C-alpha cells in the first residue's frame, strides 16, 4: 500500500452516485446512470434509468440488485441525492451520505465521491457512452457493462 493512500474503511464498502444526461432548462430528455462501485472504482452494479427518475427512487432498486451478486457489502457511501428513507431502508446495507462541508465555498473534492466520479470519467471515454445513443434501457445497460469490462481488461493487461 502506498503511503499517500488513506486506509480503506473497515469491512466491505461501496460507493453509489448517479450521472444525469438531462438538462431541465433546455428540456432535453436522456438517461441517468446509477453506479455502485467498489472502493477502487471497479463497477459492480450499473443501472441506467430515464432521467426523470430521482436519485432517491433509483437508489433502492440499485442496492436490491446488488444483494444477489455482492452480499458481502456492508456499507455504501452515497451523495446527497440518495438521502431519505427509500434508499436507507431498501436493504440491510448501511448508507452513509457524503455531504459537503458547511463552510465550503466553491469546488472541493468530496471524500469517497471522487471514486465514482472517476469511474464515470473512465467509462465516458468510450465513444458509445459519450452521448446517449441507445434506443433502449437494455442496450444502454449492456454498453455500460461492456465499458466496465474494458476497464478491467486494461488493468489486467497493465499488471501482467
Least confident of 12-16, 31-35, 49-53, 85-89: 12-16
Give the residue extent of every domain in the chain: 13-159
- Tell me the pLDDT tens digit for each residue of 51-69: 888 888 888 999 999 999 9
Do residues 32 and 137 make contact, with C-beta atoms less than 8 angstroms apart?
no
CA 142 to each of CA 63, 138, 146, 149: distance values in angstroms, whole numbers, following the listed order: 19, 6, 6, 11
More confident residue, 123 or 111: 123
* Prediction pTM value: 0.77
pLDDT grade, residue 29 (50/70/90)?
A: low
Instruction: Return the DSSP state at 28.
Output: B
Do residues 124 and 21 make contact, with C-beta atoms less than 8 angstroms apart?
no
The C-alpha atoms of residue 73 and residue 49 are separated, in whole angstroms, by 23
The domain defined by 13-159 folds into: Nucleotidyltransferase; domain 5 (3.30.420)
**In 10 A of CB 13, how many CB atoms?**
18
CA 63 to each of CA 127, 139, 151: distance values in angstroms, whole numbers, following the listed order: 28, 21, 22
Amino acid at each position: 500500500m502506498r503511503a499517500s493512500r488513506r486506509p480503506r474503511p473497515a469491512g466491505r464498502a461501496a460507493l453509489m452516485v448517479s450521472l444525469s444526461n438531462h438538462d431541465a432548462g433546455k428540456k432535453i430528455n436522456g438517461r441517468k446512470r446509477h453506479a455502485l462501485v467498489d472502493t477502487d472504482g471497479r463497477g459492480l452494479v450499473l443501472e441506467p434509468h430515464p432521467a426523470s427518475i430521482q436519485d432517491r427512487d433509483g437508489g433502492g432498486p440499485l442496492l436490491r440488485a446488488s444483494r444477489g451478486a455482492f452480499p458481502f457489502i456492508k456499507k455504501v457511501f452515497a451523495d446527497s441525492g440518495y438521502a431519505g428513507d427509500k434508499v436507507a431502508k431498501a436493504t440491510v446495507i448501511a448508507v452513509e451520505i457524503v455531504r459537503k462541508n458547511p463552510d465550503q465555498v466553491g469546488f472541493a473534492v468530496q471524500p469517497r465521491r471522487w471514486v465514482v466520479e472517476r469511474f464515470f470519467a473512465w467509462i465516458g471515454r468510450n465513444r458509445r457512452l459519450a452521448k446517449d445513443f441507445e434506443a433502449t434501457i437494455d442496450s444502454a445497460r449492456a454498453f455500460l457493462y461492456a465499458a466496465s469490462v474494458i476497464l478491467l481488461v486494461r488493468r489486467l493487461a497493465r499488471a501482467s
